[in-house]
C-alpha cells in the first residue's frame, strides 16, 4: 500500500448556479430540463466518493479537507481585479463572469476551497508527508485563464498549486499532464513561457475550446518547447490513448526531468460521456495511472498528484475514479467496471486503429519525438 492522500470537502459539492439545460442557457428554443443544471453537476463526484465509501477504499486513503487558497496564493495566477469582481458577485447572489461558468451565492468561497484542496495535496506530496495525492477539486480548474473563467472553471486550481509550490521553494521542475478530453487551455496559458513547467494536453481535437489545442503551440519565449498538445480525432479509444502515452508523453516527461508529475485528470474521454466522442474505458484510466506511477517512480521518487477535472457520466465516472485511486494507493478494494465487456466490444476496428496509429506517427514526427 502507498500513503495516498484524498482531499475532498462536501462544501465543494454545493457549488451551483445558472439556469442551464446541459451546456445551453435556458431560453428561446432551449427548454429547461426537469433535472436542470450544467453537466458539471455534483453527482459525478459525489457518487465517486460514495462508491469509495461502499467498497471501503476510503479507509485505505488518508482522507482530509484543506484550507481555502488565500489571497496571496490566488494572486500568483489571477489578477486582483478578477478576484474582486468574482467575490463581489458571489457576495451579492452569484452570477457569471465568463463563459459557461455560473456560480451561486458563496461561490467564491467554494472555488477558493476547491483550489485549496489542490494546493494542500501538492504541498503534502512535495513535503514527503504522502506518497501521492488526489484532490477532488470542484469547481474544476484547467480551463480557467488568469482573468477569464470558462468551461465550468472559475479558478486555475492546479496552476495555483504549482505557483504556490514554486514560491515556497518546494520544487522547481514540474510536469502537468492533462488527459481530460478537453484542451487544458488555462494551464497552457499560465505556463506558456515558463521553462520549468512542461504542460502536456491529450484531448479530442476541436472539442472545447474550439480554437485552441493545436500541436503547433509549443510554448513562448523562455518556455519554447515546454508545451505539447496531442489532439486526437474523435473515435479514438483505449489503444490510441495508451500509444499516445508511450510514444509521445513519456519521452517528453523523461526529457524534462520533473521533480513531481501532476495530472489534470478528467474522465470525459470515456465512451459514455455526453460531452465528447472518445472511446476510453475505466481500464484506460487505470492503465494510464499505472504508467504515470511507474514513470514517477523512475523519475521523481514516485511523487504524483492528481486533480479531478471533468467527466460527466454520473454512472461511469465513479468506476473510472475508483480504478485510478485503487492504483494510486495499491488498495485491494476493487470496484469492477460493470460496463467493461460492453465497452471493450465497442472499441475501434482494425482499420480505424491503424488510422489513429498513423496519425500519432505523424504527430511524433511533427513534434520531433523519437
Ligand atoms: Zn473536460
Task: Please tell me which residue in 142, 143, 203, 308 is annotated as part of the active site.
Answer: 143
Q: Burial level of 221, CB count in 10 A (0-12/13-18/19+)?
A: exposed
Q: Measuring CA to CA, which residue among 62, 359, 85 is closest to residue 234? A: 359
Residue 162 belongs to a domain with what CATH number?
3.40.800.20
At 266-280, the pLDDT tens digits run: 999 999 999 999 999
The grid coordinates listed for 121 are: 495535496
pLDDT of residue 312: 96
Angstrom distance (rounded) from CA 110 to CA 235: 35
- Please answer whether residues 160 and 77 qualify as being in contact, where contact means their C-beta atoms are separated by less than 8 angstroms: yes
Number of separate domains in the chain? 1
Rounded CA gap, 365 and 356, in Å?
14
CA of 32 to the centre of ligand 1 (A): 23
Query: Which range has the worst mean pLDDT, 31-40, 48-57, 246-255, 323-332?
Result: 31-40
- CA of residue 72 to ligand 1 center, whole Å: 28
Domain that holds residue 84: 4-367
The pLDDT, as a whole number, for residue 18 is 82
> What spacing in Å lies between the alpha carbon of 309 and ligand 1's midpoint?
7
Ligand 1: distance of its center to the CA of 310 in Å?
4
Q: Would you say residue 20 has pLDDT above 90? A: no
| Model pLDDT for residues 225-272, shown as the tens digit of each residue | 999 999 999 999 999 999 999 999 999 999 999 999 999 999 999 999
CA of 300 to the centre of ligand 1 (A): 27
Average pLDDT over residues 192-201: 98
Lowest mean pLDDT among 10-24, 205-219, 324-338: 10-24
CA of residue 1 to ligand 1 center, whole Å: 30
CA–CA distance, 134 with 86 (Å, rounded to integer) = 26
308 counts as catalytic: no
Structure confidence at residue 325 (pLDDT): 98
Rounded distance between C-alpha atoms, residue 172 and residue 152, angstroms: 29
Q: Is the pLDDT of residue 21 over 90?
A: no
Confidence band (pLDDT; 50, 70, 90) for 336? very high
With beta carbons less than 8 A apart as the criterion, state whether 8 and 121 touch: no
Residues 196, 227 contacting (CB under 8 angstroms): no
Q: How far is the CA of 169 from the centre of ligand 1 (A)?
A: 31
| Predicted pLDDT at 35 | 73
Sorting pLDDT into bands at 50, 70 and 90, what band is 36? Answer: low
- Under the banding of pLDDT at 50, 70 and 90, the label for residue 32 is confident
Contact 209, 230 (CB under 8 A): no
Taking residues 341-368, what's their average pLDDT?
A: 98
Within a 10 A sphere around the Cβ of 70, how many other Cβ atoms? 13
pLDDT over 90 at 370, yes or no = no
Least confident interval from 40-44, 128-132, 181-185, 235-239 = 40-44
Amino acid at each position: 500500500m502507498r500513503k495516498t492522500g484524498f482531499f475532498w470537502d462536501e462544501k465543494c459539492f454545493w457549488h451551483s448556479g445558472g439556469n442551464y439545460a446541459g451546456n445551453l442557457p435556458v431560453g428561446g428554443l432551449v427548454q429547461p430540463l426537469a433535472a436542470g443544471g450544467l453537466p458539471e453537476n455534483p453527482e459525478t463526484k459525489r457518487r465517486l466518493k460514495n462508491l469509495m465509501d461502499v467498497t471501503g477504499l476510503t479507509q485505505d486513503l488518508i482522507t482530509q479537507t484543506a484550507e481555502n487558497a488565500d489571497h496571496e496564493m490566488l494572486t500568483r495566477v489571477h489578477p486582483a481585479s478578477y478576484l474582486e469582481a468574482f467575490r463581489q458577485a458571489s457576495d451579492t447572489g452569484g452570477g457569471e463572469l465568463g463563459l459557461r461558468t455560473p456560480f451561486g451565492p458563496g461561490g467564491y468561497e467554494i472555488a477558493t476551497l476547491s483550489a485549496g484542496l489542490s494546493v494542500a495535496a501538492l504541498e503534502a506530496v512535495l513535503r514527503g508527508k504522502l506518497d501521492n495525492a488526489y484532490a477532488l477539486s470542484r469547481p474544476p480548474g484547467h480551463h480557467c485563464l488568469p482573468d477569464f473563467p470558462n468551461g465550468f472553471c472559475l479558478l486555475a486550481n492546479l496552476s495555483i498549486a504549482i505557483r504556490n509550490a514554486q514560491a515556497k521553494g518546494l520544487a522547481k521542475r514540474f510536469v502537468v499532464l492533462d488527459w481530460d478530453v478537453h484542451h487544458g487551455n488555462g494551464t497552457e496559458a499560465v505556463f506558456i513561457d515558463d521553462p520549468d513547467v512542461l504542460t502536456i494536453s491529450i484531448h479530442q481535437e476541436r472539442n472545447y475550446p474550439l480554437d485552441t489545442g493545436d500541436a503547433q503551440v509549443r510554448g513562448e519565449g523562455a518556455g519554447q518547447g515546454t508545451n505539447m498538445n496531442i489532439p486526437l480525432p474523435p473515435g479514438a479509444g483505449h489503444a490510441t490513448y495508451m500509444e499516445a502515452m508511450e510514444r509521445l508523453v513519456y519521452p517528453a516527461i523523461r526529457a524534462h526531468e520533473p521533480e513531481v508529475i501532476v495530472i489534470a485528470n478528467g474522465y470525459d474521454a470515456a465512451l459514455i460521456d455526453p460531452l465528447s466522442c472518445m472511446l476510453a474505458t475505466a481500464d484506460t484510466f487505470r492503465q494510464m495511472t499505472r504508467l504515470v506511477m511507474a514513470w514517477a517512480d523512475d523519475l521523481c521518487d514516485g511523487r504524483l498528484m492528481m486533480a479531478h477535472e471533468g467527466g460527466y457520466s454520473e454512472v461511469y465516472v465513479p468506476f473510472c475514479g475508483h480504478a485510478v485511486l485503487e492504483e494510486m494507493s495499491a488498495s485491494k478494494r476493487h470496484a469492477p467496471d460493470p460496463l467493461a465487456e460492453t465497452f471493450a466490444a465497442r472499441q475501434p476496428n482494425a482499420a480505424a486503429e491503424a488510422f489513429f496509429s498513423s496519425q500519432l506517427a505523424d504527430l511524433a514526427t511533427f513534434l520531433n519525438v523519437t
